[in-house]
Amino acid sequence: MNFWFDPVNFIAHWLTNLFVSWGAAGWLASSIIQLIGVVVFISLMMVLDIFLVWVERKVVARFQDRLGPNRVGPFGLIQPFADIIKLIIKEDITPDGADKVVYNLAPILSLMSVLLLWAIVPLAPVIFGVDLNVGALYIIAAGSIGTLSIIMAAWASNNKYALIGAFRQVAVLVSFEIPMIATMLIPTILAGSMGMNEIVNGQQPVWYFFLAPIAAIIFMIAAIAELGRSPFDLNEAESEIVAGFHIEYTGMKFGLFYAGELLHAFTFGGFWAILFLGGYHFFGLENLGPIVAVVILLAKAMFGYWVIMWIRYTVMRIRIDQMLAFNWKFLTPIAFVLLMLTALMNTLLRGTSSVVYIIGMLLTNIVLGWIIVEILRGLSRSEREKVEGVATTTATVHH
């Protein structure tokens, strides 16, 4: 067994032999190794989360023509650790009338819901937690725990502003999950499976982004809404409800919510890469070894995370009614139409050459995109004429 081509099983085999030589039973050695694997993986995710804090601050600084962290450590790399120490030593405050058990459990569930998603992420052909044949459904199920944590945090805080923020966020989560699920079904149709490994392996020789670009865009929009990031951050509208559902949280409890949000954004970037950008496949470089494949997937996930940051720090916040109308009147119909067209074209083009299949699927998206643009152009024209008509009438009355 070679470490470079199968590092996880190599280390597991070595540890098993070590524990057995110490007199441990086979089942006990296996259980200990699995526990060690979970602890190591969570630790790596936490280290990655700390790195994401630095990345986010540097990126937003560049967008806003600032330097960002540059004092604590080289290039400000130690700044996140200073922030962690600050959060740890801050006073832990629990509001009067709060349900202490639910109040303390909510931030833990918020971060746990993100970590659970990584159980099905295929980091490499031989590095993954569980190869579920219903991986797409697992993403929705595990993500719903985060929604539960938001409601728990708001209700247990005994604060009306926190509750309003939670109601807004849950309304957004429930609404935008519909187009997200619809677009997640498109890679499922193309791959013929809901398993993440099968979806990744099905993207050879062409990524699903080039077969269904509109689905990839809708998935990214819905993911940003699920994260509650701008322009969909009505749960944290500072001018109305201050910090939203976690307004009453201090210290590391607030830190867990913040860490969960950053890691969740990176996780959605990873799922975007898995569903539409080929996962760990990149011009055959993944064949150099699983470690290279892991680097490829993380690089694609970081690209998705950067796109999320780009939109967050560029697009202004919209009203809650505009947000929900955008989902129910625009995104959801397009997602369902695209799902039906993809299923139809996949059936009609099945058995044809790969070139014909790729061109047919891409043309379907191009035609649908053209129709969408024309509809939006018509709506924009009518809205502009309405506004100009009102302005003309008002000017006439004043005259």
Indicate the average pLDDT of the chain.
Answer: 86
Report CA-CA distances (Å) from 10 to 22, 29, 32, 222: 19, 15, 16, 39
Percent of the chain predicted with pLDDT > 90: 25
Residues 107 and 149: beta-carbon distance below 8 Å: yes
Q: Give the tokens for residue 395.
A: 């000017």
pLDDT tier at 93, thresholds 50, 70, 90 = confident
CA 152 centroid distance within chain: 21
List pLDDT tens digits, range 327-355.
998 999 999 999 999 999 999 988 888 89
What does the pLDDT read at residue 163? 85
Asked if pLDDT for residue 395 goes beyond 70, the answer is no
List pLDDT tens digits, range 262-299.
888 999 999 999 999 998 999 888 888 888 999 999 99
- One DSSP character per residue, 182-226 reads HHHHHHHHHHT-S-HHHHHHT-SSS-HHHH-HHHHHHHHHHHHHH
What does the pLDDT read at residue 345? 92
Asked if pLDDT for residue 2 goes beyond 90, the answer is no
Tell me, what DSSP letter sits at residue 127? B
Q: What residues does each domain of the chain span?
A: 1-89, 94-370
pLDDT tier at 218, thresholds 50, 70, 90 = very high
What does the pLDDT read at residue 391? 61
Residues 219 and 272: beta-carbon distance below 8 Å: yes
What does the pLDDT read at residue 238? 57
pLDDT tier at 300, thresholds 50, 70, 90 = very high
Cβ neighbours of residue 209 closer than 8 Å, sequence gap 6 or more = 216, 276, 277
pTM of model > 0.85: yes
**What is the average pLDDT across 133-151?**
85
Percent of the chain predicted with pLDDT > 70: 95
Q: At what angle do helices 213-227 and 160-191 cross, to 10 degrees?
A: 160
pLDDT greater at residue 170 or residue 280: 280
Report CA-CA distances (Å) from 38 to 10, 33, 279: 16, 9, 22
Tell me which residue of 188, 199, 201, 193 sits closest to 339, measured CA to CA: 188
